[in-house]
Structure 1
Amino acid sequence: MKKIIGLFIVLLCFCTAKAQQTEVRYLSGTGPDHTVKWDFWCSSGMNSQKWSKIDVPSCWEQQGFGGYTYGRYYIYKEREKEKQYDAYREHDFCDEYGIYRHRFDVPDTWKGKQISIVFEGVMTDAEVKINDVIAGPVHQGSFYRFSYDITDKLKFGKKNSMEVTVKKQSADKSVNAAERRADWWLFGGIYRPVYLTAKPRTQIEHIAVDARADGTLRTDVYLKNISKGQQVELSLISCDSQLPIGRQVCGLSTEKKQTLTTHWNNIKTWDPEHPNLYRLTMRLLSTTGDVVHEITERIGFRTIEFRPEDGIYLNGTRLLVKGTNRHCFDPETGRTISRELSLKDALLIKQMNMNAVRSHYPPDTHFLEACDSIGLLYLNELCGWQNSYSTEIAEKLLPEMMFRDVNHPCIFIWANGNEGGWNAAVDNRFADYDPQKRHVIHPWADFNGLDTRHYPNGTDNMYRLERGHKVFMMTEFLHGLYDRGQGAGLKGLWSKFKANPLFAGGFLWAYVDEAVRRTDTGQMDTYGPNAPDGIVGANREKEGSFYTVREVWSPIQIHPLKITSSFKGDFYVTNDYLFSNLSECRMKWKIMRLPVPQVADSPVCLAEGGVLLPAIQPGEKGTAHFDLPEKFFNGDVLELEAYNATGDTVCNWTFPIKNNRKYFAEYR
């Protein structure tokens, strides 16, 4: 009996804890590697005019429905140059739409809660019906999380029906101008996950944090149905050690939005080289001290500052951004990206010794989570390829982006559009949703104290960047298609700009080739020369520029080294890290004997060992040393390989011990 009572208490505690949290029930799968079949009907193109099944989430073209269109086709069409693109005109998507239907259960235990249906991303216009009742206004905009409160439209404990009509092109001209007239493949569909959430009626709706490097935590808390006398409890746990940092309780008023300020001791700050993270749990307490609702966010403590005519600072250190532009893209699944691919991309970008990423729209949440975890700065952008949303649309989409992404420590700047796609009417609205007041830019423009000129060339542009008084950070440069690869010219251009103390870095264009494997032909298609030419291939194959970028942007720089008969194992290194002492890294050496032509196929390692690196601070130069082995000058090549604090390769270098004349003389 005691065991039964004990089990009952445990189950009761479990149920109570579950009731306190936001419950989530997926109606779709979680990504391309985990999908759910829904009923689907497409208006035109492949497999149209008949009901069938489709994987959700997905882009319907990659499931064999509808037709393929590239964004630039409509730009060229408007310029009356469409004849050269006839091969891509087999299907005009202007009126293409799809209808999704799905049935789902809602448990009886959710009665009395607020139930919402959440869409992480739909291209492009979405009309949602629950049990034949419109859930709310048609949502317009592809890259944003949106939701509807459907509590009063549900049948608890019974089957419910859902119908979603998705139009590939928006009924709003500004949405098409901002998102669809662009240099990328246009897809349609429910391409990110769909799920239900259940929350108590009295709830923490949302929090937005300003977690600063000194341990100060200022939190904007958005509450619903709050009563006088309620409190909120904050607790903090280190994601690395899982050790609790502390617990604090704050009183509340009855306002819907309140700002709480707390201070936490012994905090480790977040930066790209030390991405320390914490789990912040907030519990809403009743007047009797019971937990009514709780939410958890992963945060990092760091201070971002923009100092005019000076630089962008993180935790008091001036940033030098080494970044790339990345799209959420997979050749097989289009814009539907798995968590595994997001992590793979983040790691590949990190392997190139980059510390930052940018794209033209909010990415999948799991990519931002990867950037938080491994240490990549992120420049998050309200979409606007070269045209802007109308103010009416921008006022709706901006809070959707901000509410979803505001707490990610990786985000260091907000961008309002791109290359003319700026709606200045919402510039000041970013700060309404961001307690950190991160800087807002117009990519390609000299705006708000930050010059972000793209593809600098010509006397005027170079003079503007080299002799101007503004901080400058190129949000795009060295175009992979037009500048003959992103490694070509990087070293010279980078050293030229880096000499200027107002230089804050830049973002290469672009990270990945965007060739799509078409389901109608089975072929990989780049739309002629248009799909961006990336540093890695569509399947993430490393190309030549990958290794060039890695070496040019290596945070450990080896000064020019020529091995002569008097070489004693000493060479100069510079610490190009921003936040790390070189003592956090290690380096190994190998003496290699190259294969003899027509005799051996593989090099032979004659000796290997460790290099003693100097304990120098960022920006300092010092002498590294290793003791030469007895057979050093019998070798042909010296190999050096550096590793960071986590054991990952930073870069490797090779230096000839013998020149080619001596090498060939030995094997005549």
Structure 2
Amino acid sequence: MRQTRDWENQYITQKNRYPMHTPYGAYETVEQALAGNRNASRFVMDLNGDWKFKMYPSPEAVEAFYEENFDHAAWDAIPVPSNWELQGYGKPVYTNMLYPFKREANGEAFEIEITEGTYELNAPYVPEKNLTGCYFRTFEVPTDYIGRQLLIDFGGVESCFYLWVNGKQVGYSQDSKVNAEFDITEYVQEGTNTLAVQVMRYCDGTYLEDQDYWHLSGIYRDVRLVSKPVQHILDYKAETLFTHPDYTKATLSVTIWPDNSKPLYGEYHAKVTLYDAEQNKVTEMDSRPFAECGFYLMPKFIATVTAPVENPALWTAETPTLYTLVVELQNKENETVDIESCKVGFRQVEINSRGVLTLNGKRLVIRGVDRHDFCAETGRTVSEEQMRKEIAVMKRLNFNAVRTSHYPNSVKWYDLCDELGIYLVDETNLETHGYGGQLSASAEWTAAYLERATRMVLRDKNHPSIVLWSLGNESGAGANHAAMHGWIREYDKTRYVQYESGNPKSNISDVICPMYPTMSWLEDVMADDSDLRPFIMCEYAYAKSNSNGNFKEFWDYVNKYPRFQGGFIWDFADKAIAIQKEDGSIKYGYGGAFDEDVTDPVPDMCLNGVVFADLSYKPGAYEVRNGQSPVTIEQVKNPYTGETVWVLANRYHTLDLSHLKVRYEIVQNGEMLAKGSYPAFYTAPGTTETLPLPELPAKLHGEAYVNYYVELAQDAFYAPAGTELYRRQIPVTSGVYLADEK
């Protein structure tokens, strides 16, 4: 019988990993917590930078590099965070459905002969040639960290890794797209310490990570050391609940979990304070001591506090008003020993009795795009600056939502979407596209599936930008998905769950979220009142090459059927890798550009963005911007008089149109004859306003048009005043004569 190894055992997804929680800031003061910079405290140490690095062909070839007397002098230096393929070690592999394994049918365990001469993949086993990158560095533990709990936090490591501190093995982790944290208190000493990490390119978890993307490896997100007091807040969950139909009365509910592994934790209590956007105190609550919380078969020793909030400023992607919640752990003398904080957005997501997804009681329309957490120059190491640029481009193209296809993103992405206003579908790191749906129905993989969902939710739960959770992508539909759905809906009663693959029913998905539906099928679904779930396309309008020409048809249907609520275009930006040529110029590579062993049958299938890899617009981007614009100019007929008029339609969720200006040009045979602009419109959301046509010149001949442009009236974070968001051309047919007419 084959001896199982940790990285080939779906039952071993971690060893000694710390429980998942809302990201820590370990703040020193309330003022620091209000600022919300999780890296500002002296109790948070940045471990990014150059680490010693050596690549081995397989895990078995690795030396005892973690031992304190091992000589690393001849090792290379590698930046952390980064993907090692982009630093010259191994090769990036792009695939859509294929796993990145070289298939050789040579008797290795990862392939099994199912009929004579026919081999299939054999999870959980992976190829023996499994590139293994070993990292080493030293770090200093200051005096004021001693006597506290020390946690090391890896933001993202692909695909699995072991950790040693001072020569002693601390633990193991997989699930490459969310944080992995370890308690290293018992392993460190004051002064100089050693840190060693062994990363394997493949593990059994790779079978659950067969996304349509570049397969890249290494420590690719931030590494931090966090020092917490012995008695500390383990986690907390903030929920905003509304019972009043006009959304003027809210209840803030906060649940706080102490670290229940520390003696006497029950003597402590939580102080919870809510501040508004100007940092004025809104409300303050104190829990009972944790020892007095809960009873009988209810969860014990966990505190929940609630407070009414009158007339809260509501969070939407159009009005992303944020409050700040500060949670303090206090002892019996009411002395604060630990402080954490998060942003709070007052909003409520519901599916009404007609099957319409609503936000704050109003129909929510998703003008969405699928996005990979990826940058052409740096792979899956994506800077805050890059993220801000992407959100600005999305806003200029009238996108209001992102599906984190197909895995949780960097924590910073969610912070920015809260701040700048983007709705999110947060997607579990799960896709078995090249393996089919077998694992989704297998009880042997239930724990691995469920853990990926629970860890995502536990990390990201406090972000108001998240309106839906997703169970992953293209993995069939099975009992494991139903288990994920059940846990999420019980833990988080403020959001819903979506999943596409296998056309699942409501026990797996609260939303009908297909890929690339036909218009005829869509009409059939809209006519079927036996399944009143919202209909939101998880992928549509595939944006490869010069596409998106039929885009407006989708939005005609969105405006026609209340339950058809938009969708997510596949996808945002071309997933190309920047390659610097000898002359210093940049070219962009796709599948096969690196002479890799595995190449997708359609090697340029990674180039399917609305925008290019450098975020410049493709031709289709202008069609997308216009087709999904929340403000349109339309021709309507008065049902009583039969008169036809032009109107300005406001399809924003919350905003009126005062932030926009409408200008026009009168054009004859390509020559502009006149131009002008209208006074500000204050058209309320969901309504229309008559748009009077400008006065036309006395005589027009040939082709004549009125060109309308809707632009920003003031500077916004994403664009200056005058930036165009929509245009419409109206032909002039009355009073026009041909050039040769007398």
User: Which TM class, normalised by the smaller chain length?
Assistant: 0.7 to 0.9
Q: In structure 1, the residue corresponding to 2:653 is in which secondary structure?
A: coil
Query: What's the counterpart of residue 112 of structure 2?
Result: none
Distance 1:244 1:437, change over 3 A: closer
Cα distance change on mapping 1:291 and 1:77 into 2, 3 Å: closer
Specify the alignment match of 2:590 in structure 1: 526
Against the structure 1 CA distance between its residues 431 and 107, is the aligned structure 2 distance closer, same or farther, given a 3 Å change threshold?
farther
Contact 1:325–1:357 (CA<8 Å) still a contact in 2?
yes
Q: 2:176 matched to 1:102? A: no
- Please list the CA deviations of residues 593-638 of structure 1 after superposition, one character each: whole Å capped at 9, or x if unmatched: 7999xxxxxx8796544334253341x2221348759999899764
Structure 2 matches for 1:254-265, cutoff 5 A? Answer: 254=291, 255-265=300-310
Question: 2:407 is matched with which residue?
Answer: 361
Note if 1:135 corresponds to 2:170.
yes
Name which of 518, 538, 560 aligns with 1:475. 538
Q: Is the 8 A contact 1:64 1:519 kept in 2?
A: no
The whole-number CA distance in structure 1 between the counterparts of 2:699 and 2:306 is 62
Contact 2:700 2:736 in 1 (8 A): no
Q: Distance in 2 between matches of 1:344 and 1:17?
A: 29
Q: Distance in 1 between matches of 2:57 and 2:669?
A: 61
1:395-451 Cα distance to aligned partner (Å, 9 max, x none):
4333331222110001011111212255323222224543x4421222243432421
1:449-495 deviation digits (Å, cap 9, x = unpaired)? 421121113855653455453322111112223xx655221111331
User: Which runs of structure 2 are paired with 1:149-548 in the superposition (5 Å)?
Assistant: 149-156=183-190, 158-170=191-203, 172=204, 175-179=205-209, 181-213=210-242, 214-224=249-259, 225=262, 227-228=265-266, 230-239=268-277, 241-254=278-291, 255-307=300-352, 309-358=354-403, 359-386=405-432, 390-420=445-475, 423-424=480-481, 425-431=483-489, 433-434=491-492, 436-444=493-501, 445-448=503-506, 449-457=510-518, 463-464=524-525, 466-467=527-528, 469-471=531-533, 472-481=535-544, 485=546, 487-518=548-579, 524-527=588-591, 528-548=603-623
Q: Which residue of 1 aligns with 2:158?
A: 123
CA distance in 2, matches of 1:605, 1:367: 47
CA distance in 2, matches of 1:76, 1:96: 12
Query: C-alpha distance in 2, partners of 1:360/1:101?
Result: 31
Q: CA deviation at 1:159?
A: 0.7
Q: Quick check: 1:115–1:150 contact (8 Å CA) kept in 2?
A: yes
CA distance in 1, matches of 2:87, 2:699: 59
TM-fit CA distance, 1:196: 0.4
**CA distance 1:342–1:614, change in 2 (3 Å):** closer
Q: Does 1:623 align with 2:687?
A: no
3-state SS of the aligned residue for 2:678?
strand
Residue of structure 1 aligned with 2:180, choices 146, 161, 165 = 146
Counterpart of 2:99 in structure 1 is 74
Structure 1 CA distance, aligned partners of 2:678 and 2:555? 31
Which residue number corresponds to residue 17 of structure 2?
A: none
Which of the residues 27, 34, 50 maps onto 1:37? 50
Residue number among 128, 137, 147 corresponding to 1:112 in the alignment: 147
In 2, Cα distance between the equivalents of 1:79 and 1:543? 40
TM-superposed deviation, 1:325? 0.5
> Do 1:125 and 1:167's aligned partners in 2 also have CA atoms closer than 8 Å?
yes
Q: Secondary structure at the match of 1:559?
A: strand
* Contact 2:161-2:197 at 8 Å conserved across structures: yes
SS of the residue corresponding to residue 215 of structure 1 reads strand
Letter in 2 for 1:58: S
Query: Which structure 1 segments of 5+ residues have no match?
Result: 1-12, 29-35, 81-91, 562-569, 597-602
For 1:178, the aligned partner's letter is L
Is residue 2:652 matched to residue 1:577? yes
**Counterpart selection for 1:58 from 69, 72, 82:** 82
For the 8 Å contact 2:631–2:726, the answer to whether it is kept is: no
Once the two structures are superposed, what CA deviation does each residue of 1:274-321 show, in whole Å capped at 9, x if it has no partner?
111011111122211211111111110111113465111111112121
Q: 1: CA distance between counterparts of 2:416 and 2:699? A: 43
Write the letter of the residue equivalent to 2:287.
C
CA distance in 2 between partners of 1:53 and 1:632 (Å): 74
| Contact 2:238–2:254, Cα closer than 8 Å, also in 1 | yes
Which blocks of at least 5 consecutive residues in structure 2 are unaligned?
A: 1-26, 34-39, 63-73, 106-126, 243-248, 292-299, 434-438, 592-602, 637-644
Query: Offset of 1:538 from its aligned partner?
Result: 0.9
User: Does structure 2 retain, via aligned residues, the 8 Å contact 1:61–1:519?
Assistant: no
Query: 1:143, 1:362 within 8 Å by CA — same for their partners in 2?
Result: yes
Amino acid at match of 1:406: K
Q: Secondary structure at the match of 1:62?
A: helix
Residues 39 and 421 (structure 1 numbering): CA distance in 2 closer, same or farther, change over 3 Å? farther
Structure 1 SS opposite 2:394? helix
Aligned equivalents of 1:629 and 1:458: distance in 2?
39
Residues 554, 257 of structure 1: CA spacing in aligned structure 2 closer, same or farther, 3 A cutoff?
same
Of 706, 710, 725, 1:641 maps to 710
User: In the alignment, residue 487 of structure 1 is paired with which amino acid?
Assistant: N
C-alpha change, 1:69 and 1:278, in structure 2 (3 Å) is same
Aligned equivalents of 2:256, 2:699: Cα separation in 1: 65
Shift of 1:237: 2.0
CA gap 1:656/1:429 in 2 versus in 1, 3 angstroms: closer
Amino acid at match of 2:276: S
Quickly say closer, same or farther: Cα 1:68–1:530, change in 2 above 3 A.
same
Question: Percent identity of the aligned residues?
Answer: 25
TM-score (norm 2): 0.75
Which residue of the partner structure matches residue 613 of structure 1?
Answer: 681
Structure 2 CA distance for aligned equivalents of residues 99 and 437 of structure 1:
42
| Counterpart AA for 1:40 | F
Structure 1 CA distance for aligned equivalents of residues 318 and 355 of structure 2: 22
Q: Once the 2 structures are TM-superposed, how far is the Cα of residue 16 of structure 1 from its aligned partner?
A: 11
Conserved? CA contact 1:280–1:296, under 8 Å: yes
Partners of 2:456 and 2:673 in 1: how far apart? 54
**593 and 200 in structure 1: CA distance in 2 versus 1, 3 angstrom threshold:** same
| 8 Å Cα contact 1:590/1:605 also seen in 2 | no
Deviation at 1:252, TM superposition (A): 3.0
Secondary structure of the residue that 1:135 maps to in structure 2?
strand
| Separation (CA, whole Å) in 1 of partners of 2:520 and 2:32 | 64
Between stretches 93-102 and 314-323, larger displacement belongs to: 93-102
Contact 1:510–1:532, Cα closer than 8 Å, also in 2: no
Partner amino acid, structure 2, of 1:312: L
Deviation string 1:552-599 (CA, Å, 9 cap, x unpaired) is 1111110149xxxxxxxx8411111122233x3331325477999xxx
Q: Is the 8 A contact 2:557 2:564 kept in 1?
A: no
Amino acid at match of 2:710: E
- Relative to structure 1, is the Cα distance of residues 306 and 340 closer, same or farther in structure 2, using a 3 angstrom cutoff? same
More helix by share: 1
TM-score (norm 1): 0.82
CA deviations over 1:351-375 (Å, ceiling 9, x no partner): 2212211021101112111211121
* Structure 2 residue matching 1:270: 3-state secondary structure: coil
Runs ≥4 residues deviating over 6 A:
13-22, 75-80, 519-522, 592-596, 629-636, 656-659, 661-664
Q: Which residue does the alignment assign to 1:27? A: 47
